Amino acid sequence: MRTEFNNFESLKQDLFTSYLPGIFPFSPPPNPPAGGFSSPSDLSVQTSHIPYPGHLSCQERKYGINEFNGQTLRLTKLLLLTRPVSVVRPDSVRKIKKHLHFDFVVIQRVKMYFCRFKKIIRMIQKRGWNIFLSLVLAVNVGVIVFLVMGSANSNEPAVVTVEGAAKFKSIAIPDSVSFAGEPMPLHRFDVRESLDRELLVNSYFHSQTLRLIKLAPRYFSVIEPILEEKGIPDDFKYLAVAESGLNPSAVSPARAIGFWQFMQGTARDYGLEVSNEVDERYHVEKSTYAACDYLLDAYEKYGSWTLVAASYNAGMRGIDRQLERQKADDYYNLLLVTETGRYVFRIAALKLIMKNPAAYNLIVPEEEKYPIIPTKEIEVAGPVLDFADFAHAHDINYKLLKDFNPWLRQAYLTNSLGKTYTIKIPQLN
């Protein structure tokens, strides 16, 4: 059968630079004749110059390299003569290998065995073990024949099947979105695109977002009642997600600490103890109450929960300056630094994803979410000399004691002021 080739350069590039070098590392042939190739014989001049593969040792070149090159030539010619010029795909190599009934991996292993056994043979010959040498030769010849024949006669060559490439879709934006009861003006292109950005970032940040969904029941069960008690919209629990990733021990580069990322000065302003031994920024319940107080103060100032959320990131002074400078009274009309400009949109995106993860192709069965661990509370009004001993006395280890009470910053508590602290002990049985 005669096959015409009108686009040899494209084929040559695909063949010699994309697929075959992974199997046979050799140099591309010179340019073809003007009329193209029509038969295997036409290719003899173009492919006969193929050098020995550089990764083979001298022993491997000596034993079987001619056969290696011969199969390379056959594979090259068949691929050029039997496949369409415009497309050379990896499965082409597999199909030709099947037609040749020849497993190149096995042959390479055989060559390696030849090299190894030759060394053994030389050693044995020096010792005069002729009978043993004959047995070794016979066994290895039998193994080699079995491997080669088994490969050549196999009707089921190993084929790696890839069902299809991964496909990534854009995220559908809901017709209406609100934060803390205040609607987002999605009819504006800039607002819509800002929300789209955060939906894409957080829905495709699979590992982190899946972990947040799993953690949510454990921590939302703690902060939701406090938000309700203080009159804060429930959506602000997603502000904690954006701030710390639901990590009570989170520390930012700016040294904001804890679940709600308080700076030291602000934490003390809102009644949290910050010392060498006790840092209540790490205390989930107490820091949540302090955050609620801040949010209420900001709402009294701005009358907008959206601006309240922005001020939690940029500070009230920062928002005040921008409102005055830009003569605006709405978050969506402000030009802010990137972090604050994305902040409310990120909270809204996390809310949408975590409330309905399946809509964003994030599947987390209820039984795989992290359980709420029951605890008992122990009041301590005096010093604790060693929290490791304290933990063992309550049938837990030091690690669990610190995990459930990260606000205890040392391995001891002097409690020189005689305060009463409540320590949580997880109930594991």
* Residue pLDDT, tens place only, 364-387: 999 999 999 999 999 999 999 999
Mean pLDDT of the 15-43 span: 44
Rounded to the nearest integer, the mean pLDDT of the chain is 78
The tokens 């096995």 sit on which residue?
A: 106
Element (H, E) at 226: helix 206-230
pLDDT of residue 170: 85
Question: What pLDDT, on the 0 to 100 scale, is given for residue 15?
Answer: 44
Beta carbons of 404 and 426 less than 8 angstroms apart: yes
Among the listed ranges 63-72, 256-265, 321-330, 408-417, which one has the minimum average pLDDT value? 63-72
Domain 178-368 indexed as CATH 1.10.530.10: yes
What is the rounded distance in angstroms from the CA atom of residue 62 to the CA atom of residue 149?
22
Helices (H), 231-337: 237-244, 264-269, 284-302, 305-314, 316-326
The proportion of the chain whose per-residue pLDDT surpasses 90, expressed as a percent, equals: 58
- In angstroms, rounded to a whole number, what is the distance separating the alpha carbons of residues 11 and 148? 31
Q: Which H or E element spans position 178?
A: strand 178-179
Provide the pLDDT confidence category of residue 171 given band limits of 50, 70 and 90: confident
Q: Which residue has the tokens 């409690």?
A: 415
Look at residue 168 in the predicted model and tell me its pLDDT.
Answer: 80
Note the pTM of the prediction, 2 decimals: 0.63
pLDDT at residue 2 tops 60: no
Strand, coil or helix: 183: strand
Residues 6+ apart with CB under 8 A from 298: 307, 308, 311, 312, 316
Nearest to 295 by CA among 280, 273, 313, 272: 313
**Chain segment 236-269, per-residue pLDDT in tens:** 999 999 999 999 999 999 999 999 999 999 999 9
Give me the helices (H) in 327-429, please.
Answer: 338-355, 387-393, 398-404
- pLDDT surpasses 80 at 56: no
Q: Answer for the pair 373, 426: CB distance below 8 angstroms, yes or no.
A: yes
Region 53-80: mean pLDDT is 44
pLDDT tens per residue across span 387-399: 999 999 999 999 9
Predicted pLDDT at 335: 97
Which is higher by pLDDT, 168 or 152? 168
Q: Integer distance in angstroms from the first to the last C-alpha of the chain? A: 78
Average pLDDT on 148-175 reads: 65
Q: Given pLDDT bands bounded at 50, 70 and 90, which one contains residue 69?
A: very low
Cα 347 from chain centre:
22
Question: Average pLDDT for residues 209-225, to the nearest whole number?
Answer: 96
Interval 11-19 mean pLDDT = 44
